[in-house]
């Protein structure tokens, strides 16, 4: 895969993505396209519609045209690349596919009049393979349309990019400065053996250990850490450090500092499988380093506080600029 796959999947169901409509889903449901797990397959599992697949599959088309699926991104953003995965579809994959995108405010149900932009031209596909397509369109998108020519099955659609939060839901409010949905990201990390540190920043509660950040067992002196670029500069009033589901592999202690080492939360004892909250009064910060001692995992990290006036203005300018048509 290419570098863009390290960016958040803006279409993932775990980030709020949804498949709004599809031209056909006779064999397998359209919702499978954005499942967060890797496609699975069990041979000789036949239902009333034939072999079962973990993906979206349409009937054999006997008339002109092509099939399509419409996806509302969970997070608006600038799309940097798309992955069209035909995993396990070997004799029933579409020979070609393309992707279009548009930006529409609110929660529309009819996008027929939207300004659709082709971000992946009609391109050849092969069976049982992940196809990565870089995207070069410096503008905001909220929806994508996957077209396959003429029919067949696609296991997953991944839409990787940079989150661009709507400033209407950030300005003048106390917000989670560490939330991925608000534009925060982990930019450096000492260890991500079991799972990505970005998982700490996902919305909602972690349902199991895999939905948080977990390191390998540390065998040398020191401790593990992750550096978070906040959604925008702000001041932190409360930190929430959650070890839910981590019963025998939670860190013994945690601390928070700025990128240059200025203490924000001193080294503090943690309990396993528990949500911890701490009142803070920090200076203006744009990056926070979470240190865990000596290793282990965190389910979620929340850093609540207001943005600075300068940051609010910058977010509004960015949203407006990227929302304009080129």
Q: Tens of pLDDT along 77-121?
A: 999 999 999 999 999 999 999 999 999 988 888 898 899 999 999
Question: For residue 1, what pLDDT is reported?
Answer: 45
Which residue's entry shows tokens 């300004």? 115
Q: Is the peptide bond before 150 cis (omega within 30 degrees of 0)?
A: yes
Q: Are strands 141-149 and 50-51 parallel, antiparallel or unpaired?
A: unpaired
DSSP helix/strand/coil, 265: strand
Tell me: pLDDT of 43 over 90: no
Q: 288 and 236 in contact (C-beta within 8 Å)?
A: yes
CB under 8 A, 24+ apart: contacts of 126-129: 126/86, 126/93, 127/86, 127/89, 127/90, 127/91, 127/93, 128/86, 128/87, 128/88, 128/89, 128/90, 128/93, 129/85, 129/86, 129/87
Question: Could you give the percent of the chain with pLDDT greater than 70?
Answer: 99
- The rounded distance, in Å, linking the Cα atoms of 102 and 111 is 9
Question: For residue 38, what pLDDT is reported?
Answer: 92
Contacts of 319 (CB under 8 A, 6+ apart): 140, 164, 165, 166, 167
DSSP per position, 193-225:
SSS-GGGGGSSS--SSGGGSEEPPPP-SSS-EE
DSSP helix/strand/coil, 98: strand
DSSP per position, 145-177:
EEEEES--EE-EEEEEEEE---GGGTTTSEEET
Would the pTM of this model clear 0.85, i.e. be above it? yes
Q: Tens of pLDDT along 10-32?
A: 999 999 999 999 999 989 899 99
Length of the chain: 326
Q: Tens of pLDDT along 269-304?
A: 999 999 999 999 999 999 999 999 999 999 999 999
Tell me: pLDDT of 136 over 70: yes
Which residue's entry shows tokens 């993932």? 12
Question: For residue 180, what pLDDT is reported?
Answer: 97
Question: Could you give the percent of the chain with pLDDT greater than 90?
Answer: 90
């Amino acid at each position: 895969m290419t570098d863009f796959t390290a960016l958040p999947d803006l279409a993932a169901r775990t980030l709020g993505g949804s498949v709004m409509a599809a031209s056909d889903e006779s064999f397998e449901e359209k919702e499978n396209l954005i499942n967060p797990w890797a496609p699975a397959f069990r041979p000789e599992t036949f239902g009333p519609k034939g072999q079962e697949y973990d993906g979206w599959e349409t009937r054999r088309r006997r008339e002109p045209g092509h099939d399509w699926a419409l996806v509302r991104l969970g997070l608006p953003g600038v799309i940097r690349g798309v992955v069209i995965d035909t995993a396990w579809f070997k004799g029933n994959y579409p020979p070609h596919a393309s992707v279009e995108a548009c930006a529409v405010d609110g929660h529309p149900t009819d996008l027929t009049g939207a300004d659709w932009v082709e971000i992946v031209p009609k391109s050849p596909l092969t069976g049982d393979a992940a196809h990565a397509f870089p995207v070069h369109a410096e503008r905001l998108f909220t929806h994508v349309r996957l077209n396959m020519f003429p029919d067949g099955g696609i296991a997953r659609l991944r839409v990787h990019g940079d989150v661009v939060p709507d400033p209407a839901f950030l300005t003048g409010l106390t917000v989670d400065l560490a939330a991925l949905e608000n534009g925060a990201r982990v930019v450096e990390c000492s260890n991500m053996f079991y799972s990505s540190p970005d998982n700490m920043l996902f919305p909602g509660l972690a349902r199991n250990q895999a939905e948080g950040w977990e390191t390998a067992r540390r065998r040398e002196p020191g401790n593990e850490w992750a550096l978070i670029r906040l959604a925008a500069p702000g001041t932190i009033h409360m930190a929430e450090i959650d070890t839910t589901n981590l019963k025998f592999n939670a860190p013994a202690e945690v601390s928070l500092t700025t990128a240059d080492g200025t203490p924000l939360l001193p080294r503090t004892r943690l309990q396993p499988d528990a949500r911890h909250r701490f009142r803070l009064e920090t200076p203006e910060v744009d990056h926070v380093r979470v240190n865990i001692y000596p290793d282990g995992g965190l389910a979620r990290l929340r850093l609540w506080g207001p943005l600075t006036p300068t940051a609010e203005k910058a977010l509004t300018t960015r949203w407006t600029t990227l929302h304009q048509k080129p």
